């Protein structure tokens, strides 16, 4: 399959065209208002003296640190409950498990958005396919974040 075109350029294939149509519909722009085959124009446009940069490594490192800390603190808490008889297992420990699972899943989705969804790049460096993946992962992350924040 052909590679995906960058946003601010015309779609390279049918898949890009359908993604562009979806982007325009998300913005409330119908096909009668703008021709999707011309692409989606987003500002700012690429400067002439632009040098590529990305924040994706920072997003990945930050999420990895968060996952490590969550696992370390939670496993330490559970080990203390097992080996210290004066500490009893309570409802808070039981409810902590799904909360940590959801929080780790949220951080993993942030990594996926950085690796596959173009997170951390300027909009003019993102392809239509990367935007599609980003939007898909972000919608799942939004649901997971809402669920995990209510498990406190």
Tens-place pLDDT, residues 8-32: 899 999 999 999 999 998 888 887 8
The 10s digit of each residue's pLDDT in 28-87 is 888 788 888 888 888 777 888 989 999 999 999 999 999 999 999 999 999 999 999 899
147 or 6, higher pLDDT: 6
Distance CA 27, CA 29 (A): 6
Q: Check residue 58 and give its pLDDT.
A: 97
Q: For the beta carbon of residue 21, count every other beta carbon within 10 angstroms.
A: 17
Which two three-digit tokens encode residue 94? Answer: 């039981």
How does residue 151 score in pLDDT terms, banded at 50, 70 and 90?
low
Residue 152 banded pLDDT, cuts 50, 70, 90: low
Helix axes 56-83, 91-116, angle to 10 degrees: 160
Place of tokens 């490192």: 61
| pLDDT band at residue 1 under the 50/70/90 scheme | very low
Predicted confidence at residue 148, as pLDDT, reads 64
Q: What is the pLDDT of residues 102-150, one digit of tens each?
A: 889 999 999 999 999 999 999 889 999 999 999 999 999 998 777 766 6
């Amino acid at each position: 399959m052909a590679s995906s075109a960058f946003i601010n350029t015309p779609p390279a294939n049918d898949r890009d065209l359908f993604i562009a149509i979806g982007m325009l519909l998300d913005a409330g722009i119908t096909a009668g208002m703008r021709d999707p085959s011309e692409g989606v124009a987003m500002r700012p446009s690429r400067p002439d003296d632009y040098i590529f940069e990305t924040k994706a490594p920072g997003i990945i490192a930050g999420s990895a640190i968060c996952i490590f800390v969550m696992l370390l603190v939670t496993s330490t808490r559970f080990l203390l409950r097992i080996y210290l008889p004066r500490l009893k297992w309570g409802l808070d420990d039981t409810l902590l498990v799904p909360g940590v699972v959801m929080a780790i899943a949220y951080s993993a989705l942030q990594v996926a958005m950085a690796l596959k969804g173009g997170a951390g790049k300027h909009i003019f460096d993102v392809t239509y396919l990367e935007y599609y993946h980003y939007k898909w992962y972000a919608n799942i992350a939004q649901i997971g974040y809402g669920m995990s924040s209510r498990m406190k």
